[in-house]
Amino acid sequence: DAKTTQPPSMDCAEGRAANLPCNHSTISGNEYVYWYRQIHSQGPQYIIHGLKNNETNEMASLIITEDRKSSTLILPHATLRDTAVYYCIVRVAYGDSSYKLIFGSGTRLLVRP
């Protein structure tokens, strides 16, 4: 299973962009990168996912390097409500098309007023 490495904690100022890095150097060609976040003790919330190309949605942007060994989640204008633990996950796929999301320890993002 491809492993991910994230910094344990980061902080940024409210209104500024938050750039959260993730290393996944052993990722396979057909494995996706997913990002989830967990606010306080709520259930994890889906943010975005991608395979090769950069992706953007209403919540964030995902930048994946050309060699796919790392990625960056960008929250363009962080707010206090974005304070959460952010998980970078490589989706493990199996022969029957089933898959598992395996969570690591994530990055604790603190958005400062």
Partner 1 sequence: DAGVIQSPRHEVTEMGQEVTLRCKPISGHDYLFWYRQTMMRGLELLIYFNNNVPIDDSGMPEDRFSAKMPNASFSTLKIQPSEPRDSAVYFCASSPRAGGRVHFGPGTRLTVT
Site for partner 1, rule CB under 8 A: 32, 36, 41-46, 49, 87, 91, 93, 96-106
Q: Which is nearer to partner 1, 68 or 106 (CB)?
A: 106
Rounded Cα distance, 87 and 104, in Å = 7
Sign of CA dihedral 33, 39, 41, 47: negative
Nearer to partner 1 among residue 12 and residue 82 (C-beta): 82
Of 79 and 105, which has the nearer Cβ to partner 1? 105
Smallest gap from residue 38 Cβ to partner 1 (A): 8
Q: How is the beta sheet containing 84-90 ordered, strand by strand? A: 9-13, 107-112, 84-90, 33-38, 45-50
